[in-house]
Amino acid sequence: MKYYLVAGEASGDLHGANLMKALKNEDKEASFRYYGGDKMRSEGGTLVKHYAEMAFMGFTEVILNLRTILRNMRNCKADILANRPDVLVLIDFPGFNLKIAAFAKEQNIPVCYYISPKVWAWNQKRVLKIKKVVDRMFCILPFEVDFYRKWDFKVDYVGNPLLDAIAAFTKEDQFRNTNSLGDKKIIALLPGSRKQEILKKLPI
């Protein structure tokens, strides 16, 4: 099958790469074209646009980069239409991806959404739009299945990919020994995955 994936953030790149790896195991004829990042590129296929050119956070950043965002959207639609994938797989990034979903639906391209928009957190009526433009939703939080059921939308719970990542982490004692930490306290700095988050939060 021809898969077209759209991931617009670092986290989406990670999840997209893991998804591509799983799809290759299930579909030996799988071919990929995508908006994503270096991790997805390492799985093969064609990287059309790097997420670094797409991830804008906050009202000011969006306004300042509105032309770029709209151009990215136009180019994405044109590329999807030119390549006519068997399925479009959208990964999180709802501000961009729900518009791409609506376009693909108009073109009769099947739309799958991996990692649901957080519609349960605010403006729940967005589910009505999602139902119109998404053929199949794959959720990573168990309660989302019940949430969508209330809106008469059947979705699939596929587990949280972070659990796989955590399972692969180096054990604490091994990490301490490798880095000669002894009993010292370990402090994690987690400013975020977007460039703007790192630039603005890390100095604090």
**Residue 202 neighbours by CB distance under 10 Å:** 11
List of E strands, 31-106:
31-36, 46-50, 87-91
Q: Which of residues 183 and 143 earns the better pLDDT score?
A: 143
Residue range 68-123, pLDDT digits in tens: 889 999 999 999 999 999 999 999 999 999 999 999 999 999 999 999 999 999 88
Is residue 32 within 8 Å of residue 5, measured between CB atoms?
Answer: yes
- As given in the structure block, the two tokens for residue 120 are 């349960």
Residue 40's pLDDT band (cuts 50, 70, 90): very high
Residue 48's pLDDT band (cuts 50, 70, 90): very high
pLDDT for position 75: 98
pLDDT for position 167: 63
Return d(Cα 69, Cα 65) in angstroms, integer. 6
Strand, helix or coil for residue 190: coil
Architecture of 2-161 per CATH?
3-Layer(aba) Sandwich (3.40)
Is residue 175 within 8 Å of residue 181, measured between CB atoms?
Answer: yes
Model-wide pTM > 0.85: no
- As given in the structure block, the two tokens for residue 155 are 């979705």
Residues ≥6 apart with Cβ < 8 Å to 93 = 6, 7, 8, 9, 12
